[in-house]
Structure 1
Amino acid sequence: MSEHSDRTTQAAEPATDRGGADRATEAFVAHRNLLFTVAYEMLGSAADAEDVLQETWMRWVGVDPDTVRDPRAYLVRITTRQALMRLRTLRRRKETYVGPWLPEPLLTAPDVADDVELAEGVSMAMLLVLETLTPTERAVFVLREVFGLEYDEIAEAVGKNPVTVRQIAHRARNHVAARRPRGTVSRAENRTALAAFRRAVETGDLQNLLDLLAPDVVFLSDGGGVVQAALSPVTGAASVAGLLTAGLGRIAGSASVQAAQVNGHAALIVQIGGRIEGVIAVRTEDSLITGLYFVRNPEKLSRLEEETSLRRQ
């Protein structure tokens, strides 16, 4: 069991369970990584996903296991409902967020990258697309398209009837299809782009990196009003190149850059003086960088210290 799962179960474990794990605890631990993944995909925040799991656990320990036919489905239903409530709160919080909001990056194990659907679902680009859905649309899309739940299961989780859920799923699928990045992310192209970025950070030589920028590239940086970052999206190769020239010129030589798997894709973790300054992720299409995501908000960098396990089953 991970440190995070220890914290979740111990915080609310009733006295009758202290002598050993009962069936309810075993079921929760068995499905915990799945539940975290559901919550994270709905919220884009690991910290809030952990809070949702805490709330799920509090409700789960009050249920008689003998009355539950399918613990996995029951737990997913509780998690989804709690995440929906939290998502509505987050939306209000984001209205006053300083600068662009980016998902909280996760250091992920290699097996996440091997699961193409899961890796695409938790990618920075896809999580940003999901931000454009309503809370219910997001829940339905995630449960159907990523986790493959049946419509009747989703209906119970979101408090709608199956016919309505089918309509919501269709609407959400069309919405995402119109906004999601074109094509499939190429691992080789991402590695090439990140290698150029790494050389630019370490040497200050931007030429190889600039050659990879698409004409309509978009740069988003998230400082959360805590550290310096662009306060609005920067678009276009010339504008992004100018920003990178100024920014990388300041840290070239003083920064160390580590390649890592973040949200199921290759990314770079930037450190200065042994402290994590941010994580850089890219989106590539046709061998060119179309999206650059730089998370610098210190409150979002804690999950880069250890791997987070994500699961679809």
Structure 2
Amino acid sequence: MRVVKKINNNVVVCLDQHGEELVAFGKGLGFQKVPYELTDMTKVTMTFYKLNYQYYQLLKEIPTEIFDLSAAIVERAQALIPRILNPNMIFSLADHINFAITRLTHYKSAQLPFSYDVEQLYPQETDVGYYAVRLINRRLNIQLPVSEVTAIAMHFVNSQTNDLATNSSVNSDDEMIKIITKIIEQEYELRINQTEFTYNRFVMHLRYYIKRMKKHEQISENDNSKLFNTMRHDEPEIYLVAKRIADYVDSQLDTNSNDDELFYLMIYVKRIVNKINTQA
């Protein structure tokens, strides 16, 4: 196998014996000057074929140790959950773990909700969630709250669903997403690069947000108000844009988005605006 590009010290892009491109994980694979022939395949811990641009960007943003954790958690899930998981689960879970650690760093007193409903409805996925939180806390010497059990469990619940693009309502959802994108562009007088990974991550959040609202299953707990109020106070413009987005969605679906949904909209809007501002 020929290593042709370094992503970081432990992740490289390779060509296999048939000339097919893949991404390989393994300690120190990126230390050697590329290109080179990799002959010791025992150094490779994971390989992925046909990764799209979004996942390449994620590999650059997130530490390798987070991907190692995500892989260990997914392996555990495959043993506990008797259903097919999305093959890209390692990447979406790594993204969530990285974000959870960031949230813990900046909002140490904040607690996201733990759902006993999820525990009852999805016991296998919840078991994976408990395993994941214990593993993350032990390996990284941090203290994620027990509420992360629910968040990680729902990641595995969602990973068993079909691609959102096959949903019969995808066209109407896409129209809503286009209008939401224009709302941000108009409010900040900017143009969003829709090929950016940050934007695509926002679109995925919007799809699940719209899906939750349609099913009347939005995030709704009483323990998240301090985090929401802190961010609303610190980022009033972000709040107003998120509120305009939520009001638009509610007008289309005859729903009423709560503060928890607003909070997550604020986080993703802030990511997009910050990304554009740093590139200006």
Determine if the TM-score, normalized by the shorter chain, exceeds 0.5: no
TM-score relative to the length of structure 1 = 0.24
Q: Which has the higher contact order (CA 8 A, sep 6+)?
A: 1
* Structure number with higher strand proportion: 1
TM-score where L is the length of structure 2: 0.26
